[in-house]
């Protein structure tokens, strides 16, 4: 886990993230957030697919986002060409005022039939955030059913215990194709009634992998949720007595050389009693056997 490097300029967008004056030179203005990189087999025609939240302008006093996609090519510092049109906008997803935290999974091992897009729906009725899934074709266009986008509610506050009383967001899905079908695991962030963040995990099994093209199977919450909270040893590690340590994010991926070992990045905020705060990324690993 040594040797992390950072580009001197943003891969997408501007530094600072939003332009002070409109229009921005070279590309549309606005903020780009919550990147998620889907890595397909190395011999796949499009091995990498980046999804991210894209700010919708002009805003109306709130951060309003849609979801966009890019297939990274060239050197890490090479800036890609960004379309002037957002791929998935809130106006296309009824009931959602803003779309955040995108994450893609393929519906078959080579994504020949497309993807499911997981995202956080910030509801236009000011209700608790929910995690939904939207079906996309191989060319990343929205798949419709009876003239409406094919979408499903995946997780919401009313489907989970009290640790998620104020809603769920930030989906991090993994899919494993097996001889019996497909196994899906979904890590997510949850807000309790007290506004405290924790990490939960849910699981779904498709007995027939081909059924994923038409329907997302139901997810069941892990019986020991939340798996991480502000009081967990891993979250409190190296936190001083006078510091408040809280969870602010989670990301998960398989290790390429060992698919049964998962790598996590836990984001936490440390706040001292004097009000000073800073954020950290903590790498974690876990064995996870597929039965």
Report pLDDT for 220.
95
**Model confidence, pTM:** 0.91
Residue 64's DSSP bridge partners are: none
Furthest-apart CA pair in the chain: how many Å?
57
pLDDT tens-digit profile, the chain (291 residues): 567 777 777 888 877 666 655 556 655 567 899 999 998 766 665 678 999 999 987 655 568 999 999 987 777 777 777 888 899 999 999 999 999 999 999 999 888 899 999 999 999 888 999 999 999 999 999 999 999 999 999 999 999 999 999 999 999 999 988 877 899 999 999 999 999 999 999 999 887 878 888 899 999 999 999 999 999 999 988 888 878 899 999 999 988 788 788 999 999 999 887 878 889 999 998 887 655
Neighbours of 114 (CB within 10 A): 20
What pLDDT is stored for residue 291 in this prediction? 52
Residues 6 or more apart whose CB falls under 8 angstroms from that of 75 comprise none
Q: What is the torsional sign of CA 117, 118, 119, 125? A: positive
Q: Would you state the pLDDT for residue 184?
A: 93
188 and 200 in contact (C-beta within 8 Å)? yes
């Amino acid at each position: 886990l040594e040797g992390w490097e950072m580009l001197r300029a943003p891969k997408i967008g501007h530094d600072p993230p939003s332009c002070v004056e409109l229009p921005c030179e070279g590309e549309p203005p606005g903020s780009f957030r919550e990147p998620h990189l889907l890595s397909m087999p190395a011999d796949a025609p499009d091995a990498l697919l980046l999804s991210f939240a894209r700010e919708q302008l002009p805003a109306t006093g709130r951060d309003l986002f849609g979801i966009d996609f890019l297939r990274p090519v060239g050197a890490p510092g090479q800036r890609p060409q960004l379309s002037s049109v957002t791929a998935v906008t809130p106006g296309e997803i009824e009931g959602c005022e803003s779309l955040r935290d995108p994450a893609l999974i393929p519906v078959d091992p080579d994504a020949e039939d497309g993807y499911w897009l997981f995202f956080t729906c910030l509801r236009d009725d000011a209700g608790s955030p929910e995690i939904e899934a939207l079906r996309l074709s191989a060319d990343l266009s929205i798949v419709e059913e009876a003239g409406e986008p094919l979408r499903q509610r995946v997780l919401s506050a009313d489907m989970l215990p009290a640790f998620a009383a104020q809603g769920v967001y930030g989906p991090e899905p993994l899919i494993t194709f097996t001889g019996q079908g497909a196994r899906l695991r979904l890590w997510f962030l949850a807000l309790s009634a007290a506004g405290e963040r924790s990490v939960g995990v849910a699981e779904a099994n498709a007995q027939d992998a081909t059924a994923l093209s038409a329907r997302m199977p139901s997810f069941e919450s892990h019986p020991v949720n939340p798996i991480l909270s502000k009081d967990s040893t891993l979250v409190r590690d190296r936190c001083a007595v006078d510091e408040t340590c809280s969870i602010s994010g989670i990301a998960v991926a398989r290790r390429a050389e060992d698919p049964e070992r998962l790598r996590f990045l836990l984001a936490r905020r440390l706040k001292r009693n004097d009000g000073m705060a800073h954020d950290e990324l903590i790498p974690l690993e876990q064995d996870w056997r597929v039965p």
